[in-house]
Structure 1
Amino acid sequence: MLGRFLASRRGNFAIAAAVVMVPLMLGVAASVDLIGTSDDAAQLQNSLDAAGLAIGTKYQASMSASEVQQLGQTFFAANMSAADAQELSGSLAAFQASASGGPGAYFISLSSSVSRPAFISGMPAWQATRNASVKLKPGAQACVLALDQHADSAVSLQGSTDVAMNGCVIAANSDAPDAISRGGSAIVSAGCVSTVGGTQGLTPPNATLSCGAPHENQYASFDPLADVVPPAYTLCLPVPNGKTVTLSPGTYCDKTLSGKIALKPGTYIMRNVTIKPGGNGSLSGQGVTIFLMENSQLTINANEQVNLSPPTSGPYAGITIFQAHGNTQPLLLNGGSGSVVSGFIYAPDAAITYTGNSDMNAQGSCLRLVGDTIAMIGNSAVKSECTAELGGRAAYAGRMITLAK
């Protein structure tokens, strides 16, 4: 009987089939897992790319690492919503977003992973990790930039104004329908106008733009001085008596400066200082940077004269006036005949009112106005090519966003 059993071939196919089915089923399961993981990885990559591009439209250099991470997670979660709950939870936990670079080009780097449970229970989960990188490059050079995101007439060109900014852009980050407005008899010529929102009154013959028509609904412009750190306070220096004073670089505190004020070249830190020359007064200084800290205020009226230029080298190259973040005191530059101002006039949280004059209009200056809002009155001509005068510092309008492979 034993011999017949061993010699029998009946049932061999079933045994062979059973043996073959084990690796076959494993192969089928692996194929299912591989295809599913590939689909998940593709969705993961698309979600990272989309999140990176979305961050690129909102990013500002002043954002903290946690703000970039949170912004990225919001966009990433919206694009990964098609994944099942377990996979989405794991991908969100693994998500990382960071920013690097400088004014010439910023980079947004993103990464995450997805874990797909194996088809066969008890087998290890399938993993996929993906990365994305987005490059942000600034647009054309800007001479005027309003940073407020929602203000009406964030840049206002009104009255008997003649502003010439050939080769330079007037820009606003406001999404208001009249973010940049021209009214009255104002005449404007510029390389272009760029705004997140809309414009008003910028049509021929009162507005001449090299780009043809205003560029509306654009991406926001970068804050060109977001990475500038004011110097540390030093001991408060005394102010000489008299209507004519000459100051040396340093820190000045709780004073009102009036009369004829001359500044030696260097850096000035004003703490709760009011600079207001008064009738027939003046403010002059070549190669100077004035930091308006705390509640310091600068007011130059029409019967006063101002002649200021920035240093062309060092950490504050190109910066003439820097009003600290959080200082909302209005900044008024309304110099009389003979006044010339160049360099960056920066007040990110305050309104700047700038009145040009015939002297500025005749020779042009390397002026860059960057404020929360900006009102321009009078005549002024601004040069676009100022690399040397501004120590290589520049402001730009809009941004270009691309996936960096």
Structure 2
Amino acid sequence: MLIPVLILVAGGAVDIVYALGQKTRYQDELDAAMLAAVHQATAEAQLETAQSYIREFSDSDLSPGELQEAGMSLAVVKNSDGSLTGTLKMPHPTAFLRIINLNDIPISVTSTAIKAGDVSAAAGCIYALGNKPQAVLINSGAKLDAKQCEVHVHSTSSPAFIMNAGSTIQTAKFCVKGSSYIKNGGTLTNLEVDCDAADDPYEGKIGEPNVPSACVTQGAMSGTTFSLNPGVHCNTIFNGSPTVTFKPGLHIIKGRLILNAGSTVIAEGVTFYFPDVNSEIRANGGLKLTASAPTTGDYAGILMFEKTSDAANNANKQQYIFNGSLGETLTGIIHLPNRDVTYNSTTNQTNKITLVVNSIIMNSANWKLSPYDGPGPAGNGGTGGDVRLVR
């Protein structure tokens, strides 16, 4: 009578020991998966990368629904501190415990990875670096919905910023290095003065390209649709109200690129570079804009940046206008520390950007903003930064 019980106990122990060995393998694979996936910018890419490290997913011919029916699942979740958590659930088939109708031993493992720099830089959305009066000017009608964002104002001048009535600025922290400001009304959440404003997180970390002498576009362009290759665009103006698509890659704007009212711009997987402070993209209102930075390569995460290695260029601050868009969607880092930016635009959905400027004016605009959480230049997370397991 005891022989079947002893066989079940001994066989069950074998099943459990083997399952523990499998759990160790799953944990190792999931750790590697999270260290790789945390580099990716989108949830879809993060999941796809993580699955490629799990043998049962990467080698399986089953559909996602069939995997789920078999009890196999992998969930990847982005946390508020920028870290990425994966949860892997796998059934381990038994050999001996089937005698008592226990066909599987459920196994679940979790792993969390984070990129170096994410914790300190993740919440920073706007950096106004200029030590000048009204380094930030918030005019009536300005609406900024940025409840997860921090704004860092470096000015210690009098006043460091001015806010006028009829404006609403919602942030996680509005940090001002100085103590003098003028607030004529409106709503401003989480203001901190005499605050230790965070430094430019990208200073010296973005490599500047050589500018070719040949221009891929130049002068007046007429038509309804344009598809622009990467390269140098020299003093270009688009007549009418065309749809302009910038192909993925590095686009160097030399001089002024002008888009007339009613134009549509698509720039996905694109980096814009300005080799001097007189170069810019200028829209004359009524613009529809969708732009996102590359997720890999030398300029991963960089949507716009300018030359900062030339002292004469740095000393010649110039205006830059994000002008009157009907709707825009931006993703990436905008590094323009030599520009006094005026923001007049409206967002269709929440922009995920980090904006570094000399100063900023917010006019009547409906601006939704959250921290950029994708890859960045080496030394500040992203594909060039260090990653580590949190747990």
TM-score, normalised by the number of residues in structure 2: 0.58
Aligned mates of 2:153, 2:136 — CA distance in 1:
7
The aligned residue for residue 158 of structure 2 is: 177
2:177 matches 1:196: yes
1:262-273 to 2 correspondence within 5 Å? 262-272=245-255
Amino acid at match of 1:247: L
Aligned mates of 2:350, 2:375 — CA distance in 1:
13
Aligned equivalent of 1:380, options 340, 360, 367: 367
Aligned mates of 1:321, 1:354 — CA distance in 2:
15
Aligned equivalent of 1:163, options 144, 155, 161: 144
Specify the SS of the correspondent of 2:216.
coil
The aligned residue for residue 265 of structure 2 is: 283
Aligned mates of 1:166, 1:392 — CA distance in 2:
28
2:282 matches 1:299: yes
**Rg larger for:** 1
1:381 shift after superposition: 1.1
The aligned residue for residue 232 of structure 1 is: 210
Change (3 A) 1:139 1:289: closer
Specify the SS of the correspondent of 1:312.
coil
Specify the SS of the correspondent of 1:289.
strand
Aligned mates of 1:353, 1:141 — CA distance in 2:
22
1:383 shift after superposition: 1.3
8 Å CA contact 1:320, 1:343 repeated in 2: yes
1:284-363 to 2 correspondence within 5 Å? 284-294=266-276, 295-325=278-308, 326=313, 328-357=317-346, 359-360=347-348, 363=349
- The alignment's C-alpha RMSD in Å is 3.1
1:4-403 to 2 correspondence within 5 Å? 104=117, 141-148=123-130, 150-198=131-179, 200=181, 206-209=187-190, 213-218=191-196, 221-239=199-217, 241-243=221-223, 244-257=225-238, 259-260=241-242, 261-272=244-255, 274-294=256-276, 295-325=278-308, 326=313, 328-357=317-346, 359-360=347-348, 363-377=349-363, 378-384=365-371, 386-388=372-374
Specify the SS of the correspondent of 1:382.
strand
Which digits, 9 at most, give the CA deviation of each residue in 1:130-156, with x for residues without a partner?
A: xxxxxxx957721111111x2111122
Specify the SS of the correspondent of 1:185.
coil
Which digits, 9 at most, give the CA deviation of each residue in 1:48-103, with x for residues without a partner?
A: xxxxxxxxxxxxxxxxxxxxxxxxxxxxxxxxxxxxxxxxxxxxxxxxxxxxxxx8
Query: Which deviates more from structure 2 when the two are superposed, residues 374-383 or residues 224-233?
Result: 224-233
Aligned mates of 2:279, 2:186 — CA distance in 1:
41
Aligned mates of 2:197, 2:142 — CA distance in 1:
28
Aligned mates of 2:270, 2:324 — CA distance in 1:
18
Aligned mates of 2:200, 2:380 — CA distance in 1:
11
Change (3 A) 1:257 1:230: farther
Aligned mates of 1:156, 1:379 — CA distance in 2:
15
Aligned mates of 1:284, 1:161 — CA distance in 2:
26
Change (3 A) 1:392 1:185: farther
Specify the SS of the correspondent of 2:196.
coil
Specify the SS of the correspondent of 2:189.
strand
Uncovered stretches (5+) of structure 1, i.e. residues with no partner = 1-102, 106-136, 396-405
1:201 shift after superposition: 5.2
The aligned residue for residue 28 of structure 1 is: none
1:223 shift after superposition: 4.6
The aligned residue for residue 72 of structure 2 is: none
8 Å CA contact 2:217, 2:234 repeated in 1: no
8 Å CA contact 2:327, 2:345 repeated in 1: no
Uncovered stretches (5+) of structure 2, i.e. residues with no partner = 1-115, 382-391
8 Å CA contact 1:387, 1:393 repeated in 2: no
Higher strand share: 2
